[in-house]
Structure 1
Amino acid sequence: MLHMLAYVYKSQKRADTYVFLADRDDFARLPESLRTQLGALTFVMELELTPDRKLARENAAEVMQNLGARGFHLQFPPSTAVDPLSEDWGTDA
C-alpha cells in the first residue's frame, strides 16, 4: 500500500490524545472501553499517509499498518517523565 487517507480526531477528555481512523467518523471501530476513556472526539484533519511521510509524533508506516489491521491508530501524549540525570544539579566545579 503506497498511500492511504487517515482522518484525525482529538479527544476532548484526554489532553494531547489523538485517534487516526481509516474511514471518516467510523467510531464503531474503536472498542467501547476506549471510546468511554476518550470521550467526545473532534475532527481535526484529513491526512494522506505514505510510509515515508514525516509526522510530528508517530511513524507513518506504523500508523498505516494499524489503520489497515484495526481501522484506527491511537496517539498518546508525549512522555513527561524527566530523567533526573539530565538536570543541572549545580554540583559541577
Structure 2
Amino acid sequence: MICAVYKSRLKADSYLFIEKRNDFERVPDALMKMFGTPELVMLLPLDKRQQLGIADINKVRSELADKGYYLQLPPPPVNLLEAYKKEIGYSQD
C-alpha cells in the first residue's frame, strides 16, 4: 500500500495521510477546512515499513482502510516544570 502524505499550512506539524494522491473525497469537509490547503510531502510505501516517526503504523493502515485517511497531530506540549516537580517528588500537600 502506498499513501500520500500532506502537511497543513495552517496547523504546524499536522499531517494528513490519504490512500491516493490528490484524492480527498473521503476526507470530511470540516477537516479539510481546519487543515487548509494541503501541501504534498511524499508518497510513502507502507507495506515495507515497520514503523513511522510518531504515528503507530498499524493505526495508520487501519484508518486508511476504514476511513480513507489518517490525521497525524503533533504531541501535546510537555510542561517541563510539572515534569521536573514529579521527577523530584515535589508536592504542595
TM-score (norm 2): 0.82
Task: For structure 2, list consecutive stretches of 5 or more residues without a partner in the other structure.
Answer: 89-93
Q: How does 1:5-84 map to 2 (within 5 A)?
A: 5-50=2-47, 53-82=50-79, 84=81
Aligned-pair distance for 1:38? 0.6
More strand by share: 1
| SS at 2:25 equivalent | helix
Runs of 4+ in 1 over 6 A off after TM superposition: none
Structure 2 counterpart of 1:45, one-letter code: M
Q: Distance in 1 between matches of 2:64 and 2:46?
A: 11
Task: For structure 1, list consecutive stretches of 5 or more residues without a partner in the other structure.
Answer: none
Coordinate RMSD, CA, aligned: 2.4
Go from structure 1 to structure 2 and tell me whether the alpha carbon gap of 1:40 and 1:29 turns closer, same or farther (over 3 Å shift): same
Q: Distance in 1 between matches of 2:25 and 2:49?
A: 29
TM-score (norm 1): 0.82
Identical aligned pairs, as a percentage? Answer: 33
Summarize deviations over 1:52-71 as a string: whole Å, max 9, x none.
61111111111000000111
Note if contact 1:10-1:19 (Cα within 8 Å) is conserved in structure 2.
yes
Count of residue pairs the alignment pairs up = 88
Aligned-pair distance for 1:13? 0.6
